[in-house]
Structure 1
Amino acid sequence: MLEEVKKMLDEEPLAKLRVEGEPVVIRLEEAQLLAPVPLPRSVRDFYAFEQHVKTSRKRRGLDMIPEWYQIPVFYFSNHRSVVGQDASVAKPSYSEKLDFELEIACVIGRKGKNISADHAIDYIAGFTIMNDWSARDVQRKEMAVGLGPAKGKDFATSLGPYLVTLDELEDRRDRDRWDLKMTARVNGKTISEGNAKDLYWSFAQMIERASQDAELVPGDVIGSGTVGTGCILELGPEVQRWLQPGDLVELEIERLGVLRNRIVKG
């Protein structure tokens, strides 16, 4: 079937393609983009950028965690709270400190278990932008208990606008990392800039860890964690106040597009 579609696209002008009389191709501005994986089988979010970890802990008066350098760590997010491009994100009723997080995520394309880092890239279907929305006041209380984040991350995760396959990024690849500029804007103002190549733990290492004695399946999402400067928690409210209804958050990653969401009252 896929080969037939490719042949049609090669041989026929897109405007002429029809299925039961209806056009197959519509203009992008006429479409509502869902998340590339609207209902992932799972969402694992790692903590892989050293600058973010160091700076965020320093702001809270905490030293760096020695164990962070020993293994890549992650938590499971709510896979049923995933939204896509231009979706409204409701400010949680239980939080006064709503934050964004600028992340890159990969989507798993092959089933695998105990995948070695040497072969892990072969299991990636593509990359997308991820916004790991965070209720910081709630998150801090939860994690002080030794568990979480739970309700601090439970309400929304944005993915999109596209899933970009690895062949489209080959010229930016350096072994198991990709040179892709990352930017965050709030109400049109640039407040965060980083690069995907600055990962301390690579996606290959994340996949190796995630698949240890556990099966990964197509559609699983693996987030990088926040890039350095990629959230209000790290920058400080003196640089950017906590998010409020009406705010427009745009996350841009070179070659992956711009992921855009507006905050609304919960």
Structure 2
Amino acid sequence: MKLASLKEGGRDGTLIVVSRDLTRGVRATGVAPTLQAALDDWQRVAPRLNALSERLNDAHPHPNPPLDGRGAEAFALDMAALAAPLPRAYEFVDGSAYLPHVERVRKARGAEVPESFYSDPLMYQATSAGFHGPRDAVLVASEDWGIDLEAEVVVVTDDVPMGVSATAAGAHIQLIGLVNDVSLRNLIPAELAKGFGFLQSKPRSALSPVLVTPDELGAAWHGEKLHLPMRTWINGQWFGATECGEDMQFSFAQLIAHAARTRPLVAGSIVGSGTIANHDTAKGASCLAEQRTVETLRDGKPSTPFLKFGDVLRIEITDAHGHSIFGAIEQRIERVGG
């Protein structure tokens, strides 16, 4: 099933079930008011949401019969009316599972990759107090901060016990989606030099229009990895089609186990893959920092600029038939207060 949230009903939105083709939705408030409420009681609620999803996908859109016992009817889906599926989350931990990116960045500055990076995931505590909707603008005060997109896959968990093994962690993945994990690249060096991690350099991110259950992905989801290309465009120009299933050093089960080593994860926790990157640079990139690093290694200096006000980015994954799975994240870069 596919789940989303409308921009109504308060800061956590209103939970809706979305049709497989992303054209229709139905309010799921008769089952759970918000996606977080559903995740808090997932084992009981998920079968009811799935039944609503089956009725929505089986129903002909004209006319629209009530799809639940409270008279909820299907409606045409408007992507601009969607908040992030989880407008705010208890936790967002972001990994860096694609080591080709790490290797290239370090090579560009003449540094080696520590051996531990190949066995111990990189991860940081990301911003979770608010996520942008899939059509919301990226608001930034200055172009000088080095505005960058980062196209990633995310998973959403149910309650994960502390110390869970990687073998058991996969069973706690309940939903999968995309994120544009915005970075302000020119603020990062000074922050990391303090030795205390990201803060100002990592503003709010945007989630894909819908999150989907693993069964929606079929054979493309195995080994706790998504085996499809991450497609990105900037101002309508192709930027990359990096393969999510290739060169991913750590699976999502391994990332979850790493995050939960010393603490449990509560239902609704989001775990990110990090920017998708492949050894084969012909596939393009999923962030500008990656493309600029490739150019530096090839030409001695970067030639691709960071994002400017007015630029529009698009992030999407399609199935083998070209159908959008999660819907597209499409955002314009705008000056805050502008």
Shared fold (TM-score greater than 0.5)?
yes
Cross-structure match for 2:132: 83
Q: Which moved more, 1:5-14 or 1:253-262?
A: 5-14
Q: Which amino acid aligns with 2:219?
A: D
Counterparts in 2 of 1:54-203, with a 5 A limit?
54-93=103-142, 95-153=144-202, 155-198=203-246, 199-203=248-252
Does 1 or 2 have the higher relative contact order (CA < 8 Å, sep 6+)? 1
Residue type at the aligned position of 2:123: F
Q: TM-score normalised to the size of structure 2? A: 0.71
**Consecutive aligned runs of 4 or more in structure 1 exceeding 4 Å deviation:** 3-14, 18-23
Question: Of 62, 66, 72, which residue of structure 2 is paired with 1:17?
Answer: 66
CA distance in 1, matches of 2:315, 2:69: 38
What's the counterpart of residue 333 of structure 2? 263
Q: Distance in 1 between matches of 2:54 and 2:132?
A: 33
Spell out, residue by residue over 1:91-110, the C-alpha distance to the aligned partner (whole angstroms, 9 max, x if none): 24484311111110001123
Distance, in Å, in 1 between the alignment partners of 2:54 and 2:226 is 32
Counterpart of 2:188, as a letter, is Q
What pairs with 1:210-221 in structure 2 (closer than 5 Å)? Answer: 210-221=259-270
Task: Compute the displacement of 1:129 (Å).
Answer: 0.6
Deviations 1:66-85 (A, max 9, x none): 22113112111111241121
**Which runs of no fewer than 5 residues in structure 1 stay unpaired?**
none
> Could you tell me which residue of structure 1 aligns to residue 291 of structure 2?
235
> What is the aligned partner in structure 2 of residue 252 from structure 1?
316
Deviation at 1:11, TM superposition (A): 8.7
Residue identity opposite 1:54 in structure 2:
E
The whole-number CA distance in structure 2 between the counterparts of 1:6 and 1:98 is: 38
Mapped to 1, the partners of 2:186 and 2:169 lie a distance apart of 36
Contact 2:157–2:270 under 8 Å retained in 1: yes
The CA deviation string for residues 206-256 of structure 1, in whole angstroms up to 9 with x for no partner, is 011111121111111000001112211111184531111111111112333
Distance 1:103 1:145 in 2: 26
State whether residues 84 and 206 of structure 2, in contact with CA within 8 Å, keep that contact through their aligned partners in structure 1: yes
C-alpha contact 1:91 1:244 (8 A) present in aligned 2: no
- SS of the residue corresponding to residue 161 of structure 1 reads coil
**What secondary structure, in the 3-state scheme, does the structure 2 residue paired with 1:216 have?**
coil
Q: Structure 2 CA distance, aligned partners of 1:168 and 1:83?
A: 24
Q: Distance in 2 between matches of 1:160 and 1:39?
A: 14
Q: Residue 212 and residue 93 in structure 1: after superposition, are their counterparts in 2 closer, same or farther (change >3 A)? A: same
Q: Report if the CA contact (8 A) 1:52-1:230 is conserved.
A: no
Within 1, Cα distance between the matches of 2:53 and 2:180?
33
Range with bigger deviation, 33-42 or 236-245: 236-245
CA shift at 1:123, angstroms?
0.4
Match of 2:84 among 15, 20, 35: 35
After superposing the two structures, state which structure 1 stretch, 60-69 or 206-215, moved more. 60-69
Conservation of the 8 A alpha-carbon contact between 2:154 and 2:272 = yes
Q: CA, structure 1 residues 126+137, in 2 after alignment: closer, same or farther (shift >3 Å)? A: same
> Which residue does the alignment assign to 2:298?
none
- Aligned AA (2:234): V
1:48 pairs, out of 74, 85, 97, with: 97
Number of paired residues? 265
CA drift at 1:54: 1.2
Compared with structure 1, are the counterparts of its residues 127 and 21 closer, same or farther at alpha carbon in structure 2 (3 Å cutoff)?
closer
Conservation of the 8 A alpha-carbon contact between 2:223 and 2:251: no
Structure 1 Cα separation of the partners of residues 143 and 59 of structure 2: 54
C-alpha change, 1:63 and 1:11, in structure 2 (3 Å) is: closer
What is the CA RMSD across the aligned residues, in angstroms?
A: 2.6
Q: What are the superposed Cα offsets for residues 184-207 of structure 1, whole Å, 9 maximum, x if unpaired?
A: 111011112211112111101001
